[in-house]
Structure 1
Amino acid sequence: MSNTQTFTDLYAEVQHFYAKQVQLLDSRAFDEYAATYTEDAEFQHSPGVPPAVTRTAILAELHRFHERFEADPVQRRHWFNGFVLEPQEDGSVRSTFYALIVHVRPGVREPEIGPSCVVHDVLVWSDGVLLTRSRRVDHDHAA
């Protein structure tokens, strides 16, 4: 958080960042989604899967993970809420929030709620752009 930025401004900026990020993910715009991470970012999203380290590895992991949906017309929606932001002395921001993943299939009226998760991020600014430096997703069912 910059010296002139209020906490309210920070909160709004982070929420907008996450809204853009999750829409990229849900639309399978993986190149653009991976670009919301630092080049040396660490990304751990599933239990038992080692973290992907670097933007290139994150992109590869996204493609690997979504192969399971190639024959399934599912639309996945990630719902983020309950943000707690903690500005750090080094200018980064620790962000913790809840995520629900919803699966919707054509012709099926009722959505399926996927995993319930707690997400732990570290956000940083690079050349005035907010990016994710690290993400760890803890699945509630795996606790």
Structure 2
Amino acid sequence: MPTTQSRTDLYAEVQQFYARQMQLLDGGAFEAYADTFTEDGEFRHTPGREPARTRAGISTELHEFHRRFDGDPVQRRHWFGMIDLEPQDDGSVRSTVYALVITTRPGGKPDIAPSCVVHDVLVRVDGELLNRSRRVEHDQLP
């Protein structure tokens, strides 16, 4: 079991990882976002769809998903909070996070939807923190 100091360091590291990762996503840097996953990473973000697998698959999935915003001057921001970390015996970390997606259009008010719970498995590869898997559950769905 990690010491209090090492858990504090891990929490800060994961929070910084998420800040960088979400800024890449919100900035449309989908290839760089996909690089925050392991080569064989898995990403399930849309209910009812198969997960994207591999970095190339994650990047392709995100490009396809965001085509629906072509011609729409929308800005989307992903907000992660209430991060709960569970270090595992194999060195991985299970992370459960509350996520809000805030959508804003010029002249409009921010719209917060969806509200989600994100389940990640984080691992170290060559000392770098990466996502091995991400599963997003939308609160509005049964």
- Superposition TM-score, scaled by structure 1 size: 0.95
TM-superposed deviation, 1:107: 1.5
1:112 aligns with 2:111: yes
What's the counterpart of residue 8 of structure 2?
8
Q: Which position in structure 2 is the counterpart of 1:122?
A: 121
Displacement of 1:130 in angstroms is 0.4
Q: Secondary structure of the equivalent of 1:101?
A: strand
> Quick one: distance in 1 between partners of 2:32 and 2:56?
12
Output the amino acid matched with 2:60: A
- Which residue of structure 2 lines up, in the alignment, with residue 131 of structure 1? 130
Matches within 5 A, 1:84-99: 84-99=84-99
Amino acid across the alignment from 1:126: V
Which residue does 2:59 correspond to in 1? 59
Off by >2 Å, runs of 4+ in structure 1:
none
Report the TM-score, using the length of structure 2 for normalisation: 0.96
Q: Percent of pairs identical after alignment?
A: 65
- Aligned residue number for residue 41 of structure 1: 41
* Contact 1:100 1:115 (C-alpha < 8 Å) held by counterparts: yes
The answer to whether the 8 Å contact 1:2/1:91 transfers is no
1:70, 1:63 → 2: CA distance? Answer: 11
**1:2: how far off?**
8.1
Spell out the pairing of 1:75-90 with structure 2 (5 A cutoff): 75-90=75-90
| Structure 1 alignment gaps of length 5 or more | none
Distance (Å, rounded) in 2 between the aligned partners of 1:31 and 1:57:
10
**CA–CA separation in structure 1 for the residues paired with 2:66 and 2:38:** 22
Q: Supply the distance in 2 between the matched residues of 1:2 and 1:49 (Cα, whole angstroms).
A: 36
Q: Which SS does the other structure have where 1:6 is aligned?
A: helix
